Every structure is written in C-alpha cells, then in structure tokens.
Amino acid sequence: MSDGAVATTIFAVFMAGAVALGLAAVRGRGKQGGLAEWSVGGRSLGAVFIWVLMAGEGYTSFSYLGAAGWGYNYGAPVLYVVAYMSCGYAVGYVVGPMLWAYARRHGLVSISDMVAHRYGRPWLGAGVALLVTVFLLPYIQLQITGMGVVVSTISYGAISLNWAYFIGFAVTTGFVVVSGLRGSAWVSVLKDVLVIGTLAFLVVYVPLHYFDGYGDFLDRVVREKSDWLTLPGSGGSRYGEAWFATTSLLNALTVVIFPTTVAGYLGARSADGLRRNAIWLPAYNVLLFVPMLLGMAALFVVPGLVGAESNLALFKLVVDSLPAWGVGVIGVAAALSSIVPMAVFMLVIGTMWGSSVLSLLPRWRGPRRQKLASQAVVVVAGALALVLTYAAPNTLVRLSLISYEGMAQLVPMLLIGLVWRKLTLAGAVSGLVVGVGIVCALVFSDHDPVFGVNAGIVALAVNLAVALGVSYAGPAGRRDERPDAEVLARDPLGAEGEDGADGADGEGERGVRAAAGP
C-alpha cells in the first residue's frame, strides 16, 4: 500500500471509531432527560470525564498548528497560551462552582440562560445568545479548516482540502447531535490518550532524530535563535511583555465564562469535583510546550516557511521523519483535537438557541421540542460554518479576530452581575455595547495591540467604567422584587446550610443525586 493509503486507512478507522464511541456514550439513555441531559450531560459527569472534557476543549487544533506556527515565526510570545490557561484555571476554582450552583438551583443550561435569569429579561438572554453565536462561528470554522489542513497533509494529499473540511463537519455532527456533552466527553477520552501519547513520543523523538539529543538542540537554539527565546520574540513582533501580561490576564478572566468552559462546569456532578479539577487541569498545560518546541525545531529542519505554511511547521517534521502509520496516528490525534472542541462549540450554540432564543416562541417551549430545536440549530450552525468555509473563508477569519476579546466584554454583565445586585440592566447592557464597539473599532482598524497592550483589556476597562457609571447615575428601571438569594449566585461552599430555604435546596440536591445512583 502507498503511504497515502496507509495513513488514510488509519485515519478512517479512527474517525468511524470516534463516532461510534460518541454514540455509545448515550446508549440506554436514549429518550430520557430532555435538554439538560443533552446539553450538560444531566449534570452528572464525574471528575475524570470533566477533566478530559475541559482539557480537551483547551487543547484545540490551534495547539498543533497555530502554536507551532507562532513558535516558528515569533517564539516566546506563544507561551501566553500556557500563562492564561493556568491563571484561568485558578480563577475557575472560584467561578466554576459558583456558576455550577447557580445553574443547578435555577435549572439553567447556558450563560445566556443565566443572564436572562439574573436580569429577569428573556430578551436579554436571546441577545447574548445571538452575540455569542457570532463570536463562536469563527471558532467552528477554525477547527474545520485546521482539521482540513491536517487531514490533507497526513493523507499525503489523498484527501483533498474540501473533502477534509466536510469530513470534519460530518464526524462531529454525527455524534454530537445525538449524544451531546456526554458523547463529547467520551470522544475526549480517546483524544487525550492519543494526544498525550503522540506528543510524549514526539518530544523525545524529534530532538534525537534531527539533532544529537536535547543538549545539542537547545544549545543550537540558544546560540543561533536567541531572538526567539524572549519577548517580544523574533521578526519585529508586536508581542512584548505588556501584551503578554494583558492578554494573559484578559483571557484568564474570559476563559471561565467562555460558553464551552461553562458547559463543562455545568456538566459536573458536584462543586467539589470542579475544585479538584481546577487543581489538576493546569498540569495538562505542560503539553502545550511541546508543539511550540517542535515549531522551533522546524526552524532548523525546514527553514523559510512563510505565512500560513508556518502553521504546518510541526507536520512537516512528522511527515518528513515518520513512517506512514505513525503519520496517520498523529494526524488522528490532531483531527480529534479539532473535533472535540468543534462538537462543544456547536453544542453550546444549539443549547443557547434552544434555551434562550427559540424559547421566546410559545410553541417551542416544551422540553421535548426545546431539545429538538437545539439539535436542529447544531446542524444549521455547523453547516453554516462549513458553507462559509467554502464560500467566504475570509469573513469568518476576520470575525475570529474579535471573538475572544469580544467574549471578554460579557464578563461584567455575567460575573459582576451575579455577585453584585446594584449592577443594573441598563448599566450591564451599555457596558457591553460600548466594550464590543471598542473591540471592533480597534481590531478592524488594525490597532491591536494598542500602545503595546491587548485591545480587549482597554475595551473591558471602559466597559466596566460605563457599566458602573450607568448603574449609579442612570435609570433605575423596573424594580425587581425577587430576593437576593433568587437573583445572585453564591459560592456553594459559603452558601450551603445558611438558612431554611437553603436547607430545602440541599434536600432537593440529595434527591437528584440519589436518583442518579451512586
């Protein structure tokens, strides 16, 4: 068999296996459960599943392609990914259990739901769902294109780019529509085994194959490429210390409300499970050093890659140095790194539409219909991203530039709103509008970083100032008669057993746990 046939066969077997595994996850759970079972795994996933799922979401196709490409082009700045993920997990230690408890108490399944509940305005939930959809679609496309590039490379060109895009969409939709978050968690297990295995292998193999071991490799890097080893990195990059610190800070705050992270939180069985998880998740970040290191190794082996080609820095090494079956396995690991996050992105969009947008229409309000509508939205969202990938790839690429910094603007409305009653609807909305406006203005006029600082953090500061200012000085709006305990979120650790109402709540929780089995 030719190299292409070997690698393609391995790839095909694993893709079929991934779909089967995803579907097997909900065997016997078939029709029961409704939206919460599908969207957040019935809030019953154990610590191990939550760990692999959340690690899986963090380790996307960017880690293989973009991280290696940045490592190749600039060097050190790419380590901001490690910095923000670690800091983000520390923030998540507090925020995760808080959101978990809030959602569980009020039966919510997404951040748009939470916002609607907090401010008592269903239309606000719908608005947030629309905004988040705009920010997430580019991520789906990034995963589709990332997977396409990987698949066509590792199949030695046997699978064309266009087919590879379609395969990515088809495999993901194939399981997520039926099995939701639980299926994604199961596929994540397969993915993690392959990712950890292949990266551990590569980090040992590449320096031995191309250099005289680590000593020699590092020595040459220090001697010949020292530009790459500090901020701002090589090639007149704009990514200095101030950019590194502000971007990591902004992303660490954003990652905890990122809808896919929140889906992981809500899927957990217990608050303490999330806290334990926050201890072990940062350990996964050690793996992020590997593609960056390999990207720098590629500087010596395949010099002169420019533009989008540099994203393939890692795969050029792989194809160059390994037999076809090895290339196939590493390709599968990278493909699954696109598929798992893509599945959760699509799931989250579907969930938000089902729970916050379509639920505004009376005839879509029943639990069965809500789930059905959500599943339909998943297919539509995925198909839309796929069609845009073929028809107008640059639209979404441009949008993706504002995705993370735009999502960050939801932090005051959601996080501050959930702990501080005085933040008014008018304040939260005006802050969000101003913040998103500033992000768009700065990013699209090519002013990111602005004065060496992440543009999103500038927008967030203004957003916060406007939100506070309007809350104090602006219109009070309709009076919300609900008690604080109904509107605000509290850390379950501080809140449990405080008063009579909570006692009753604890009963309910135990009841759910008993029903779910040990």
Partner 1 sequence: MIVRRSPRRPHLLWLLVPFVLYLGVLPLVNRVRPVVFGVPFLFFWLLVATLLTPLCVWLAHRGDRRIEGGRPGSRS
Tell whether residue 272 is a contact of partner 1 (CB under 8 A): yes
Where does residue 326 rank: exposed (0-12), middle (13-18), buried (19+ CB within 10 A)? buried
Contact flags string 434-473 toward partner 1, x per CB under 8 A = ----------------------------------------
Judged by phi (left if over 0) then psi (alpha if -120 to 50, else beta), residue 107 lies in left
CB of 276 vs partner 1, minimal distance in Å? 7
Kindly tell me the number of DSSP H helices and DSSP E strands found in the chain: 25, 0
CB of 515 vs partner 1, minimal distance in Å? 16
- CA–CA dist 407, 463 (Å, integer): 12
- Judged by beta carbon, residue 68 or residue 144, the one nearer partner 1 is 68
Tell whether residue 231 is a contact of partner 1 (CB under 8 A): yes
Which residues inside 492-511 make contact with partner 1, applying CB under 8 A? 493-501
Residue length, the chain? 518
Residue 58 corresponds to which tokens in the numbers above? 């963090």
Taking contact as CB under 8 A, which single stretch among the options 38-46, 242-250, 420-428, 445-453 is the one that binds partner 1?
Answer: 242-250
Per DSSP, helices labelled H in 109-160 are 111-119, 122-154
Tell whether residue 47 is a contact of partner 1 (CB under 8 A): no
- CA–CA dist 211, 394 (Å, integer): 39
Tell whether residue 93 is a contact of partner 1 (CB under 8 A): yes
- Token look-up 């009376």 returns 362
> Is there a contact between 104 and 509 (Cβ–Cβ < 8 Å)?
yes
Taking contact as CB under 8 A, which single stretch among the options 1-9, 198-206, 427-435, 491-499 is the one that binds partner 1?
Answer: 491-499
Tell whether residue 268 is a contact of partner 1 (CB under 8 A): no
- Judged by beta carbon, residue 89 or residue 315, the one nearer partner 1 is 89
Which of 12, 47, 94, 465 touches partner 1 (CB under 8 A)? 94
Contact flags string 349-388 toward partner 1, x per CB under 8 A = ----------------------------------------
Residues whose CB is less than 8 angstroms from the CB of residue 342 and which lie 6 or more positions away in sequence, other chains included? 139, 140, 143, 144, 147, 168, 172, 382
- CA–CA dist 45, 54 (Å, integer): 12
Site of interaction with partner 1 (CB under 8 A): 76, 79, 82-83, 86-87, 89-91, 93-94, 214-215, 218-219, 221-222, 226, 229-231, 241, 244-245, 248-249, 252, 270-272, 275-276, 278-280, 282-283, 285-286, 289, 490-491, 493-501
